[in-house]
Structure formats: structure tokens, C-alpha cells
Amino acid sequence: MATQEQQAPSQGAHPRRPRVLLAASGSVASIKFEALCRSVAEWADVRAVATTSALHFIDRASFPSGVALHTDDDEWSRWRRVGDEVLHIELRRWADALVIAPLSANTLAKIAGGLCDNLLTCVVRAWDYSKPVYVAPAMNTLMWDNPFTARHLGAVRELGVSIIPPVTKRLACGDHGNGAMAEPSEICRTLSSSTLKISSASKTGTPPAVKANTLFLTSIQLCPGFFLNPASFVITLTRFESSHIPHAAYRFVISVWLPVVSVSACRTLAMAASATAASPWILQELSKAPHTHRSGRIGIASMSSDASLSNPARPRRSTMQV
């Protein structure tokens, strides 16, 4: 089932909608979770996760019918034997982005400490941080101003988590101050601006952006693998095409390092790509790789069509720009 969910549309088909996993932890602001789910579901496929404490504030009877709501009780209820789905892993694989709104002080502390004692924190612990995570904290003003909160926010920022800051207003407890969750409309607006990039990437097949220094260093580490076994290099490259940093780094190897190192290296990789039915983008990058030969390009245009015919059923997996 997970494999089917992750398959992207074939060429020529319309790109799929973004997949957003929304989560709520134990805060009074969870009363707005239903509205957030409805708003995001207008332009994305949505699945939801709620902690046991959050369920106290969520009216499941009025929850959007098209949004599956997963709870701690669902985590292992369907698991019977090795090979069965593990829910927190399936949710991580399915989602293009994770949004925790509200994020309580308790769940923030758990995430910062690496704890995973419920469905939500297991998803976070198993998350692929090349995909975006947004959190919208919600807590009492003094809890927000507590030194522990600053430390915990620093820890989650190091993971690459984007924080949608709370706002100042009259809180549910009666105090007035900073700590109220940002409005669902603001959270939705922040998320939709990111998913516009996701949709654009799925249409064009463009790999996600990564930091230049990460790309440079990773690409250097990948080069020896090519010279040891070009065919294995291409097979590994194809497997990693949905993983952001490796994907972009491999493209850097193809378009920059190999042409500089050796013209014959580019030709060898072109033949290996054709022989292993590599993904179309690999062949496309190879066809554009500059070199010093008089022809000016590597002649693999025919290889591209041959490779696509040799494995026409192979799905292309969409990537996500962060």
C-alpha cells in the first residue's frame, strides 16, 4: 500500500496534490485544529494525527470526513506480523510536509529530547528532515518565556524545523501575553507558500534546493563510487532520486565533477545509465554534460529512448523543494 501511495503519476499525467500531515498536541488551541484541517484540505491531501491530550479539545463527530484522524490507539492496532505496516513509518513516507499545530510545551520538550512515546513523537523521531516541518507553539506566557523553552526551540531549529511564532492576546487561562497559537489562516498561508514550490517541483522534475556547501562536500564523497563501479553508481543514483541531498549531489557529480575529471568518465557513465535503465533525468543531465570532444555533447539521445523502452513501467517519484 505504501509503495502504491508513493508512486508519482506517469509522464503526461497531472501532478498530484501536496500531501500534508497535520498534527495536534495537548493544548487548548487544539479547538482550532478542525478549522486548520479544513483549510489545508482545500488545496492538499491531508491526514491528521492527534495526541490523547489533544483529543480532549477535538470534536471527532464534526471532523472533516475526507481527513483521516490517527491516534495513539491506531499505532499498533493493525500490526499482526513482521511485514505489516507500521503507522508512524507509513505516515512519514506518505507526507511531503509535517505541521504540528498546536505544539504544546510538553510535546516541544519531548521532541527536543528525542523522546518518542506516542504516535506523533514517533513520526517526528522517524522523520526525513529533507522534508519540511512546521510547528506552531501554543502555551501560557510564562511557559513560553521559560528558559527551557528557549533551549528546546534551539534544539528543534537545529533539526531544520520552521517555527511559526505565537501571538500576543488574551489567553484561554485569562492571562494576557505572548503564547497563543498563530491563527489557522496564518499557518495555512505559510504552508501553502511552501507547497507552491512542491507543486512546481513535481511538474518540472526539478530536484530540491540544498545548501551549496552541503552539495559540494557530498558530491566529492560520491565521486570515488563512480570510478570503482560505474554501473553500481547509476543504480544507487536511481534509488536515491527521491532523497533530496543525494539527488542534487549526484546531479552535481554528473554536470560538474565528471566532465572536469575526464571525458571518458562521462561516456562510461552514459553507457552505464543506458544499460541500467536509469531515470530520464539522469540521461537528460548526461546529454547536457559539457566536455572537450569535438562533437560538444555526449551522444546518448538514442540511449535515452532505449532506456525508457527497456523499463516503461518504472514510476517516477516526485521530489519536494524545501
Q: Which of 154, 178, 204 is the last residue of a domain?
A: 204
Number of domains within the chain: 2
- Within-domain flag for 319: no
pLDDT of residue 51: 98
Q: Which of 142, 172, 204 is the last residue of a domain?
A: 204
Is residue 85 a contact partner of residue 78, using CB atoms and an 8 Å limit? yes
Catalytic residue chosen out of the listed positions 37, 70, 88, 122 = 88
Q: Give the domain extent around 255.
A: 212-310
Same domain assignment for residues 280 and 217: yes
What is the C-alpha separation between 269 and 21, in angstroms, rounded?
A: 38
Please state the rounded mean pLDDT for residues 227-237. Answer: 53
Same domain assignment for residues 39 and 179: yes
Predicted confidence (pLDDT) per residue in 288-317, tens digit: 544 433 333 333 333 333 333 333 344 444
In single-letter form, the type of residue at position 263 comes to V
- Within-domain flag for 322: no
Same domain assignment for residues 195 and 236: no
Same domain assignment for residues 74 and 38: yes
Same domain assignment for residues 11 and 146: yes
Active site residue 188: no
Catalytic residue chosen out of the listed positions 56, 173, 176, 293 = 173
Same domain assignment for residues 174 and 219: no
- Within-domain flag for 320: no
Same domain assignment for residues 220 and 124: no
- Within-domain flag for 321: no
Cell of 143: 511557559
Same domain assignment for residues 151 and 274: no
Active site residue 122: no
Q: Which of 204, 222, 253 is the last residue of a domain?
A: 204
CB atoms under 10 Å from CB of 290, counted, come to 14
Whole-prediction pTM: 0.60
Is residue 212 a contact partner of residue 245, using CB atoms and an 8 Å limit? no
Predicted confidence (pLDDT) per residue in 75-128, tens digit: 888 788 888 889 999 999 999 999 999 999 999 999 999 999 999 999 999 999
**DSSP symbols for 73-131:** GGTTTT--STTS--HHHHHHHH-SEEEEEEE-HHHHHHHHHT---SHHHHHHHT--TTS
Please state the rounded mean pLDDT for residues 251-262. Answer: 54
Same domain assignment for residues 150 and 22: yes
